[in-house]
Amino acid sequence: MEKPFLLLLQWLLLASHSVTALRFTVDDFPDGFAFGAGTAAFQYEGAVAEDGKSQSIWDTFAHSARNPNERTSDIASDGYHKDDFATFADVCFREFGDRVKHWTTILEPNIIAQGSYDIGIMAPSRCSSPFGHNCTVGNSSVEPYLFLHHNLLAHSSAVRLYREKYQAAQKGVVGINLFSLAIYPLTGSPEDIKATERANDFLFGCLTFPFQGHDNASANKFLNCSILHPLLFGDYPESMKKAACPRLPSFSNYESKLVTGAFDFIGLNHYSSVYASSNPDVSKMAVRDQAADVGALFRDTRDGPTSIQYPAGRMIDPQGLEHVLRYLRGKYGNISIYIQENGCGQTDDSLMDEQRIDFLKKYMASILKSIR
């Protein structure tokens, strides 16, 4: 399936006469830079009730009244697997490791914690009042942090398994995927800059630094995060401990050693940028959820409506991705980074999708610019 997809992608990029001509080619990217495509297990597996397969949280969600579009993945792409994480990872490494050299363990745990266990709009729809939507079970103050903690341990266990049992022979690499946003302070006020810093701490850090044209010259330090900080230093950042204590789990000495350095690369799903401002109301809350712990209000545009939760973002801002990559390199050196998701939707099904071609062209150019 790879060759037809790649040929189609090349055709889409080159065949359209209504899109500005590309000013770079694949040859402009350095050796070792990889293009690719990906999918998710729920989009691929299907076989919803075959061979003793039990319902996943997404199967349950897709068949519930909470599913906004009534679509399921009962068939999907007709793939299949059983999902005991460590055992599943072992099977994958053993059966496919001679061909698969890049393994990503978990998708976007830093944002799924909010969507699935705080506000409850994603499977398994766990949340608590007054924070979530139509909550029937869950605890929005505690469960997002439990989810993050156990995802880190599951990921790190898979990395250790691969390094101890397979890496020497298979010569592959293992990483984790994170949801990425470039977050700009709404104003240059100290309150908005601090709110942006907290937002980056909780999301995954690395995006608070001077962006040209966004009046953010003073916010030029790297801020650590719920995922990257433990993987680098074996513990959560102090800002998270201060905001979420005692709801934030702690690492034992064994767990701290397990998670420290447990990645060969970091994958980013990066689509957009947002603005953040201070949320003074959180100081009045007797009980807080994860979103309130961040203490920020978010906007898709400078004059748009506010949200206490991280938005998906609608701003087309290739410069944001460029600066994210530059800052990561400046802080950590040349760690391996993969942009695993990027792109934009289109209202029709035409293959002559000039808007998406133009979007991808601009973001690819921003990656190339950050490399140069």
Q: Domains of the chain (ranges plus CATH)?
A: 45-83 (no CATH), 87-371 (3.20.20.80)
**Average confidence (pLDDT) over 199-213:** 49
Indicate the pLDDT class of residue 80, thresholds 50, 70 and 90: low
Give the Cβ contact number of residue 65 at 10 Å. Answer: 7
Closest CA to 322 of 336, 339, 310, 335: 339
Indicate the pLDDT class of residue 189, thresholds 50, 70 and 90: very high
pLDDT over 70, % of the chain: 83
Annotated catalytic residue, options 197, 255, 341, 354: 341
Distance from C-alpha of 353 to C-alpha of 299, rounded to nearest angstrom = 28
How far is CA 98 from each of CA 172, 191, 344, rounded to the nearest angstrom?
A: 9, 52, 34
Q: Is 108 a catalytic residue?
A: yes
281 pLDDT above the threshold of 50: yes
Structure-block tokens of residue 133: 């939507």
Segment holding 362, helix H or strand E: helix 354-371
218 pLDDT above the threshold of 70: no
The alpha carbon of residue 309 and the mean position of all alpha carbons in its chain are separated, in whole angstroms, by 15
**Average confidence (pLDDT) over 183-208:** 78
Distance from C-alpha of 115 to C-alpha of 39, rounded to nearest angstrom = 20
More confidently predicted of 167 and 46: 167
Quote the pLDDT of residue 260.
93
14 pLDDT above the threshold of 70: no
Indicate the average pLDDT of the chain: 82
Annotated catalytic residue, options 45, 108, 143, 322: 108
DSSP state of 29: S
Quote the pLDDT of residue 84.
75
Collapse the DSSP code of 276 into the 3-class scheme (helix H, G, I; strand E, B; otherwise coil) and give the result.
strand
Quote the pLDDT of residue 64.
83
Question: What pLDDT, in 10s, does the model give residues 127-145?
Answer: 999 998 788 899 999 999 9
3 pLDDT above the threshold of 70: no
Collapse the DSSP code of 182 into the 3-class scheme (helix H, G, I; strand E, B; otherwise coil) and give the result.
strand
Collapse the DSSP code of 258 into the 3-class scheme (helix H, G, I; strand E, B; otherwise coil) and give the result.
helix
Which range, of 15-24, 53-62, 110-119, 200-209, averages the lowest pLDDT? Answer: 200-209
- pTM, two decimals, is 0.74
